[in-house]
Structure 1
């Protein structure tokens, strides 16, 4: 803040990059009101927010559980060019889902189709994660299958998200199939998914024969930290 204010004292002007950096920093320390004031100041001084700045303020609001404020700003922008970017929708869909407003996330997902905008891999991943969080694993699986037929097939993150959804919701029927698909695509497990799998095996909810397959999906950097090293 001292450096930011020094710019004015030296008769220099703040530009979009400086404003964006400060707004992001304020959100990171939870000063949402100050961040929003700075955004309004920037707008008032004729520094029009670009896609980056717009994304920063929406993500900052969502990360601080102010989804209603983020949606208010989104609707205020209306049909502007800023609201035709898939990144903006991904931020809001994820933010609404994380804040327990999954009905809003679903509407935004449908809004993309209505506006003729294409979902990308991140959009699908965010929705699959939200569906699993809501316990709608069947719907998550359907979206996963739809994604596989789209121009944006599932990636490593998609498989991990769906696998975690299966595990957390005790939806065990398709876990082995999913693991075999991951192995076939040369995907790997991350630490959190691996931990969930091992916990379920230890609890007797998954069979020990899966250990060999799981071991093939563990990246080298995780081997030393897992039970596969013993």
Structure 2
């Protein structure tokens, strides 16, 4: 008997070793003296999962679950379920969960937590709460991890009230507070985020780098640079390790405020503490200098990026194309665009729109439309921004009828015109003083539930002023005020001049 037991142990070990080095799981024995015992099979599946070989782990599970001859133990497939969910293969995770249910493999807290997390990531919060109730009905108790998952789900959906309600019914840990801080920052509620930090500290938890990153990002998004730097300084005082991702939003906001010198100093400070810029940092620097008109400095950083072995992205090249176009160097932008396309980059819609805009501003509508054709040839679909850019280019040249045709073409392609589209066309007709078309367009806008903006009314008034229709000018001005929009000085002046002409 002892020899038989020893033989089974050795044969199981042999199967496990062979399985880890062989790809096909179909060779694994399932019967006879070399059958794999449950612990060995579970280790085998877990080892496959740990090495990222999820398909082989699935194959092993299905081979041995078929027919019900092999009974998996509680929790034996949790690693596989978690692996599929973590790899973004959520549909397969649901299929596996159903297979586990049919095979009568009892669910554990971990099983439920994985599936609750999947539902929360998909924004299906009602179903996630239903799974918690199902978990409790199975005699299992939700853990802090379960509640934290729900809180993260509600915060991702912007439903902070539900998140706070769950938080109030549990014993929060550091991850709970961190999630709430991130949630409040994401919604721009920075005062509430700061309150959560205080509550975190009162509960005996110290804010970590993720907490501070959320706070700094939140204040940078709001343009509150001083507050963002205060949180950064607090990190330093408390000895919380700084990261490149802490510096990046600060550098970005400095550029947005036109403080490129301070942005450079901050990057040098970052280097001084042993942190090299990453791809995001380089893109911020290149974009900042391109928008500031310093295209030479942007290309210097672009070259440094190459030397450091950091590959430029579409974001990088789009910034450079924009910078060249802004300086009127549209032919160079064209050359760069096609150079990177030949090198294997697939330009996206943002990059195409940037180049089309450059040619439109340059007055080269023929080339702009050529690029539109090339873009569609590469299966990149024109969006509302593309059409608006082209319409504005035509409008600058006074080609109102072509603007109207483009608007109709836009509709045919299933791209819905927006405020910018209508404002551009109204402006085109306004320049020609075509009263009938102006008023018709205004009604079309209202019919589509687009409330005319200040720019709409300004264009209408300019067009009507050209037709010497003082009554209509006064009517437009009155409607503008009725809608709660404050006219600018030029609009009042147009109205006064029309009154003077009538007198």
Matched, 1:61 2:324: yes
SS at match of 2:471: coil
Once residues 144 and 179 of structure 1 are traced to their aligned partners in structure 2, the CA distance between those partners, rounded to angstroms, is 14
1:124 is matched with which residue: 387, 391, 395? Answer: 387
Matched, 1:191 2:454: yes
Matched ranges for 1:1-230 at <5 A = 1-79=264-342, 82-206=345-469, 208-209=471-472, 212=475, 216=479, 220-223=483-486, 225=488, 227=492
Q: Structure 1 pair 200/137, CA: closer, same or farther in 2 (3 Å)?
A: closer
Q: Verify the 8 A CA contact 2:423 2:455 in the aligned structure 1.
A: no
SS at match of 1:174: helix
**Paired residue total:** 229
Where does structure 1 lack aligned partners over 5 or more consecutive residues? none
Once residues 482 and 303 of structure 2 are traced to their aligned partners in structure 1, the CA distance between those partners, rounded to angstroms, is 46
Once residues 480 and 413 of structure 2 are traced to their aligned partners in structure 1, the CA distance between those partners, rounded to angstroms, is 26
Q: Structure 1 pair 110/150, CA: closer, same or farther in 2 (3 Å)?
A: same
Q: Structure 1 pair 88/111, CA: closer, same or farther in 2 (3 Å)?
A: same
Q: Verify the 8 A CA contact 1:180 1:213 in the aligned structure 2.
A: no
Q: Verify the 8 A CA contact 2:461 2:476 in the aligned structure 1.
A: no
Once residues 208 and 39 of structure 1 are traced to their aligned partners in structure 2, the CA distance between those partners, rounded to angstroms, is 58
Once residues 22 and 62 of structure 1 are traced to their aligned partners in structure 2, the CA distance between those partners, rounded to angstroms, is 18
Once residues 125 and 50 of structure 1 are traced to their aligned partners in structure 2, the CA distance between those partners, rounded to angstroms, is 26
Q: Structure 1 pair 49/169, CA: closer, same or farther in 2 (3 Å)?
A: farther
The alpha carbon displacement at 1:165 in A equals: 1.4
Once residues 360 and 412 of structure 2 are traced to their aligned partners in structure 1, the CA distance between those partners, rounded to angstroms, is 24
Where does structure 2 lack aligned partners over 5 or more consecutive residues? 1-263, 497-503
Q: Which protein has greater RCO, CA pairs closer than 8 Å, 6+ apart? A: 1
Once residues 218 and 131 of structure 1 are traced to their aligned partners in structure 2, the CA distance between those partners, rounded to angstroms, is 31
Q: Verify the 8 A CA contact 1:112 1:118 in the aligned structure 2.
A: yes
The alpha carbon displacement at 1:31 in A equals: 1.3
What RMSD in Å do the two structures reach over aligned CA positions? 2.7
